[in-house]
Each structure stands twice: as C-alpha cells, then as structure tokens.
Structure 1
C-alpha cells in the first residue's frame, strides 16, 4: 500500500456512536455508571488495522474491543486510534521527514529518522497509552467529547531515543523552562488552534522518548508514523503523533489545548456539577490505577461447574500494581488473582488471571479491581464524581455472563 493512498482507502463510517461536544442536560440526574460496553465492531477495516469500533473517519477515531485485553501487549493492528484534527498528511516520506528543535537553544536542529537512529543511543520502553476520556460514557449527564467505551487504551513496546538526549544536543540555554510539541495534523479552519502541548522542563526524565517503532515495526500510520512522543505514566493527550517540531521557551505559552482542554476541577474530588462548573481547573496528567477484564466478555455463556479462567490487564502511572482482585458476589467479597511476572516494566500492563467454577445457573456478574503500590484502589463506578470533560474514569470493571 502506498502511503499517499492511505486515507483514500478508508471509507466513511457514520452513526455508530455519538461524538464531539454534547450538550449537558441540567435536569438529568448526575451520576456515574458502568461505561457502554455493547458497541459493535465495524465491518470496515482501516489500512494497517483490523476492524475496530469506529466513531469517525475524519479524524480517525477507532476503539479496541474488550476481548483484546487478555494480552499484556496490544497488537498494532488492534491498537486504538485518536486524532484531534481532521487534516492528516496522506503521504510522508520517512527519508526526507525532519523533526525541528528550536527556540531557546544554543543550536537549532533539523533531524531525520536516520539521524535519530545513528546519532543517539537507542532505547526501548513498554508503556500503556490511554486516552484521558476513556470510558467517558460512564458519566451522566453526557460529558463532552468522544463517547468512548472501555477500549481507548493499549500497551506497546516503543523504540526510539531519549528526548533528553536530543535536547542536550541542541543545548538548552539557561532561561529554558518549557518544551512545546507540535505534529503534522491540521485544522480545517485557520482560526482553530493547533494541537500543541507543553512540558515543564522540571518534568523531563529519561523515560520520555521520541519513538519511531511500535512492537518491533515502524509506527503504524494511524498511530503517529513516522515519529511520536512517548510520555509514560500520563494520559495520551501529550503523546504527540507525527511530531515535527519541538520549541523550547522561557515562559509558558497561552495554548487552547493546555489552558482549556484536558483539564479537571482543581479540588480533592476533581468534580463539579452541570449547574456549578469549577472555576479553577488543573491538567489531567498521571493515570489512575485501573484494570479491565478481557475474557469473558459480557454475554458470554459458560457452563455450570466447568472451569472458567478470567483474564485481563491492570496498570497505573508507574508506581506498580500490587494486586488485582475478583468478586463474583457483586463486591461483597474479593479473591486475589494471579499476576504475571511484571518484567515488562513499571509503565506496562500487568496481565492477570483467576480461575473458578461457576456454581449456580443464571446471570453472574464478575468484577475486578486493582490496587497499586501507593495503596490507591479502584472505586466503584457510583463513587466516582462527575466532571464535564468525562476524564480519568477508573471504576471497578464488570462483565455479566450467563451460566448454563
């Protein structure tokens, strides 16, 4: 497939789910429930992807089905897709592509992918990528944004170079304080703000990389080819795709996608109500502890007294998963699941499994919750408070099966 033909092969898919900004119904009860979990996989596959749950083709918005989350690595062709702007280049030549480093630096740089591969130490990092609005359908009234179910996340092995090494080559001036990132996606209207994100220089560390490989292959086109920023432990809004420019500044810029988008109320519960929106907000950054059952999925029929193996994944911002627990009595009692060895690293999925024999015919709810090394525990959905952006949901997961 020629990359210039990439989007010519993607057919329009519409009406599968509500997307975009959604009006708040002030009279509707404010609550949080289990997110929507019954959307169908599209019959149409985008290039380099298997059929996924499709929300839009311009920009491409694709969700991974629940059944994928039994593995500690998400395959590239099943990895979710999230773009912000509808205009994405249909052709990129990796041999002529350059990333520019400029601003408050001693030496401005223009580096090719080959330069990155030959002039810097190569590093690999396994990390979870999750949209801050994953599970947004849990929030009632409807929160603004893409109405994701449970699958706007994935875990991959990323290969590239340390951002710190690239900036060291450019040479940061003494007054350097902020790092701005911009990619090649563009808005339709000139007045629309570019998707630019910033990082405080104090938050720069060795695990932040510029990645050109994903799971041992070139980045898939829809996941940011030929280069993307990887910031492990934080939500995906700052993982800039098709990154083409890095600008170092003395002062923080005024940016729509920093000052207004991807923010939650700056209070202890990070909550508000439709009638009383928070005046003071803060950016979403570190991911909450979370877990998800990949098998069985809701609606699965299982046999009474037969062995059933529950499988799934757990993760957090890098503090480490301490345990995952399973309940088959609606959360009254919990039993500990078996975790994998954790050798993928602190930012990766921890796969878990739990085996039992269903004892009674009828409908059965299976719940899972994770606890990390800090002691943070997934709450029940009903205990998560509402925010207008529908961000940072991490409620106890639940699937409903039929025992026959």
Structure 2
C-alpha cells in the first residue's frame, strides 16, 4: 500500500534519537541531547500513532474545519489563519503521556520510553481560543474532538489513528495553539506540518498532527485514545501488574512534575582528583510551575537545591544548575528531583502503576566515576 513506505524516512535529519518503533514511527531523545534551552528540531522526539500522510506542497492552502456546537462553522485555510488572527509564539514543553513508562515494574504496555519523550520548542501560530470565539461556541459546547490527516496503522483512512479532545476551558487557554512554525521554521512534516495543535502541559497525544478538523461536542469526546484504558489513570492505587479493567479511572490531563539531568551524561568518567561536579538539567510540571529542584549524591541522605533560570512563559521548562563538591575519587550516583507549585515531588521509585504505563515521573539517575575504574 502506498502509505506503507519506509517510515524511518521520518528520522532523516534527526541527530542521535533512539528508535523505539517502526510502525508507527516512534523515537526518543537521550537526556544528554536535551541540554539546549530550546530543543533543536533535529533532537526533538518523534511520536506517531498511525502512518504518515501524504506531504502537501501548498502549505498555505491546507484546509481545516471547526464545526459541531458552534454558531458559525468555519472552513479555513492556513493562509486564513495567518491573515485573520493574532500571531503568538511561546516556548513550551511537549511530552508523550507514556514518558517514563519503562521504569514501571512489572513492565507496562506500550513504547518503552525512558525520559526522552519530551522536548521544548518555540511554537508559532494562533490561539485556538481566538478561532473558537470567531466560530461562536454554543452554550452546549463541552469538549473538543481532534482529527488529523494521517491514516491508521493499516494505512486506512476510514478510521482515525488517534482522535482525542479536551474540555472547552483547556481549549480556550491562550497557550493552546494552532501551530504552523517550530523554532522559527515552517513546521516540519514529521512534526505535523503544515498545521498541528499544541495543547501544552497535557499528554502530547492531544496535540493532533496534520490537523484537519476540530469538532466541538456537547459531551466528552469518544474517539480513539479516549475510551477504555487509553490515557487514563486509576483513581485508587492499583497493585502492580493488575489489569485495571474493572476499577474507576480518570483521564490523564496535566502531566506530573519531572526533572532530568542533561549534563553530565550517564557513564561519564572524570579525571582523578576532580573535586567539583557541575550538574545541569531541565524540569517541568504540566499545568503547574516548578517550585524547586534538588540534587543528591548520597541516595537522598542530603539534598542540595539547584539554581533555576526563570521560564520564558508559562509551559516553558525550567533550566537548572548546581555545583557539588566531591570528597574523593570514586563512583557517584546523581539523583535529581523537582517539586511543583502544589507541593508534589518526584518519587525515588515508580509509583501509581497502571496497565498502559502513563504518568511515571520517577527521579532521573545518572552515574559517574571520578578516577580510574576500581
């Protein structure tokens, strides 16, 4: 079938990503390659749910629809968006809902993400809320439904590979964008170009690529990725390994607080006599702010607070750094933990086990050695 071409073509131009899956194409970024304030496109992770659609040569002619519970259905081109609505650029985190999945025990279903299903880019577009206000939301409007141009994993266009949605309040946030540019360049095809959604702070599956339609609904959306256990967490803690099918669950909305160490890389060796360890990284917290980042070299017996660089705007990640004294040569394990503005901190051990492995925010561990091997 035409759409079952080599999906790895989507990794052309990528730098150092780790391939997690071919069909659909999934690749994550090693933590040490996330050391830039703005994640370069070449190092931005890739997550597809279906196959790649056919690229479009006339980007400004791309069309999409806003319909459903609105007074005035809209049929717009990308050129219409650019000409009729105020442009906005924000640097914001985009994170897969399964980021951290591989740290659950026992293993959960899905792509084995470590910490690299995340990136923080500059996104340019218009606020979805401005478009929805022009369409005129009816009093009955409760939820969005998102639809893209990509075929499902079989190559069929009859069913959506993924169609998720958000409550209207989230859709109306200023930072929820219809995006046509990334880091000042035309939005790359592999990242949803020429038009995609960015729903910051919530699972990346909501940020529909190759956007064709926003359906305003009078109820919670029930497209693929919205039912069963998809992107849901148990309301009450499950025993690890439980199937979770007969328990109350909730939709995964705001992503949990997380920090990563971006330097040094795991396995770094320093010369004998090194007595200062310079550590830096990034932290983010879904809808919330990062309140504090702390680092330990002694498994949590003592913690040192890192200095944080204020984020550029809401949903930007917080870059942090700290210099720690080393008492001697030897082997050291770095653990970093962030705390959000609601007082929630990362755990040492993966918590809130669920069958599909969502929302794991266990602390990142990096091991380094000073001097020769023992």
**Superposed, which structure 2 residues align to 1:52-201 within 5 Å?**
52-187=17-152, 188=154, 193-201=160-168
What is the match of residue 21 of structure 1?
Answer: none
Equivalent position of 1:392 in the other structure: 359
| Other structure's SS at 1:199 match | coil
TM-score by length of 1: 0.84
Aligned to 2:327: 359
**What is the alpha-carbon root mean square deviation over aligned residues?**
2.3
Correspondent of 1:309 among 271, 278, 297: 278
Q: Distance in 1 between matches of 2:304 and 2:3?
A: 47
What is aligned with 1:228?
A: 196
In structure 2, what is the equivalent of residue 237 of structure 1? 205
Aligned equivalents of 2:103, 2:82: Cα separation in 1: 43
Query: Hey, what's the Cα distance between the residues in 2 that align with 1:360 and 1:6?
Result: 57
Alpha-carbon distance, 1:247 to partner: 1.1
4+ aligned runs moved over 6 Å, structure 1: 5-9
CA contact (8 A) 1:71 1:313 kept: no
Residue 355 of structure 1: CA displacement?
A: 1.1
Q: How many angstroms does 1:50 deviate by? A: 2.1
Contact in 2 for aligned 1:319/1:373 (Cα 8 Å):
yes
- 1:305 positional shift: 2.9
**What do residues 239-269 of structure 1 show as CA deviations (whole Å, max 9, x unaligned)?**
11111101112233433311121111122x4
Shift in Å, 1:169: 1.4
Matched, 1:337 2:306: yes
Counterpart residue number, 1:258: 226
Q: 1:305 to 1:50 in 2, by over 3 A?
A: closer
Q: Where in structure 2 are there 5+ consecutive unaligned residues? A: none
Hey, what's the Cα distance between the residues in 2 that align with 1:307 and 1:352? 17
Deviation at 1:292, TM superposition (A): 0.4
Query: Quick one: structure 1 residues 176 and 385, their matched pair in 2 at CA, closer, same or farther if it must change by over 3 Å?
Result: closer
Please report how far the alpha carbon of residue 106 of structure 1 lies from its aligned counterpart in structure 2 after TM superposition: 2.2
- 1:35-46 map, 5 Å: 46=11
Deviation at 1:293, TM superposition (A): 0.2
Number of aligned residue pairs? 364
